[in-house]
Amino acid sequence: MDALLVLFSITQFAVTIWLAAVDPTGLWPMVGSFALVAFMLTYSVIIVSHLFSHQPWFVSSRHNAVMSLINSANIAQSVQAYRLTHVRNHHRYNNDRKGEDGTTRDVTSTFRYSRDDGHAPLWRYLFFSLAESVRELLGTFAALRRGCRVGADETLLQELATRNPERRRAELRQIQADRLAHLGLLALLAVLSWQWLLICYLPAIAVAFTLVNVQNYYRHYGAHPESRYANSVSHYGRLYNWLTFNDGYHQEHHLRPTTHWSQLPRVAERYGASFREDGHVVSPVPAVAGFLDIRREGLPSAAERTPGDPEAC
C-alpha cells in the first residue's frame, strides 16, 4: 500500500507542472486548477509527507533522498526540515503547555500563541502559524546566498539535527537539497506561466498551509498534554481512515509513532482501556473539520480538567 503514497507524490509533481504548462484560462478552469493544487498540497502535507517522515518508503537511502526532493517540491518546504521539527520536536513535547518562560517547547503547540494558559483561539493560531510559514519561505529565498545551506542562525534546525557528525552532515545536506528542489520547482513554474504561479499556485499554498494548521489544531484541542494516553484526538470514521491511511488514529500515532500506519487500529485495541481512563478525546469528524465538533467546542479548557474526568471522554 505504501506504493500508493509514492504514486501520489510523483503524480502531484507531474500534475503541478502540467497545470502550469497548459496555463488554464477562464474563471472556472482557474478555480478548478487552484482547488486541485490546494487539495494535493494539503493531502501531501497531512498524509503523504507525514508518513514518509516517520517511515521512509525505501531501503535505499539514495532512493529516499530523491523522494524527499520530490515531496519537498510538492509541499513547498523541506521534508527533511519538516521531519526534524515534527519527529524530534512535536513528538517529543506532544503539544505541551506554556512553561515558566511563557512559551512552549513544541513549536507547533496549540497553546503557544495564547494570551493565557489555555489553547490559543483558532484564528490566532492560524494567523501566527501562517506568518511563521511565510517567514520560513522567505528564509528559504534568503538562504540562496549561501546555496540554501542551513545557517548558523537557524537555531531550531541546528539543535534538532543529530549530534553524530556523519549523520548530521547528511541531514543538513538533505535540507539544502530539499530547498533547492522547492525553489527549482518555483522557478520552473514561473517560466511556464508566472501568471498561473501568482494567481493559482501561491494562493493554493496559503490555503493548504491554513488547512494543515486547522488539522493540527483540532488534533490536539481539548486533549491532555500531560497524559501519554490522552495528549491527542482521534477520529475513527472508516471512510476517512481508508482514504487517509489511518490518519484518524492520532492518539495511537502519538503513543507509538514508529508503528506502521496499517497497525494503528491494533494499538487502539491494545490501549483502549488506558485511553478511556485518561479521558482520550474522540472526535466524530476528521480534524480538518474539527470546528464542526460542537460538543468538543463546549468542553472546558484542558487546564480546567484532569485525566479521567468523564467530561473529557
Domain count, the chain: 2
Q: What is the pLDDT of residue 294?
A: 81
pLDDT of residue 252: 98
* Residue 282: its H or E element: strand 281-282
Instruction: Give pLDDT < 70 ranges for the chain.
Output: 297-313
* 118 and 200 co-located in one domain: yes
Dig out the grid coordinates for 169 from the structure. Answer: 552532515
The pLDDT value recorded for residue 301 is 44
285/154 same-domain check: no
Q: What's the confidence (pLDDT) of residue 1?
A: 82
180 shares a domain with 258: no
163 and 268 both lie in a single domain: no
Residue 90 lies in a domain: yes
Residue-range definition of the domain harbouring residue 271: 233-312
Question: Is 225 inside a domain boundary?
Answer: no
Question: Is 226 inside any structural domain?
Answer: no
Question: pLDDT value at position 61?
Answer: 95
Q: Which of 185, 220, 255 is the last residue of a domain?
A: 220
d(CA 223, CA 301): 9
pTM of the model: 0.92
How high is the pLDDT of residue 169?
A: 97
Q: What is the pLDDT of residue 298?
A: 45
Residue 180 CA: distances (Å) to CA of 14, 46, 132, 141, 291:
18, 22, 20, 10, 36
8 and 136, same domain (yes or no): yes
Residues with Cβ within 8 Å of residue 246, at least 6 apart in sequence: 261, 262, 264, 265
Specify whether 199 is located in the same domain as 247. Answer: no
For 10, the enclosing helix (H) or strand (E) is: helix 2-22
* pLDDT tens per residue across span 7-24: 999 999 999 999 999 999
Domain finish residue from 199, 220, 241: 220
- Residues 161, 308: one domain? no
Residues 9 and 69 in one domain: yes
Residue 167 forms part of a structural domain = yes
pLDDT at 297: 54
User: Do 201 and 242 sit in the same domain of this protein?
Assistant: no
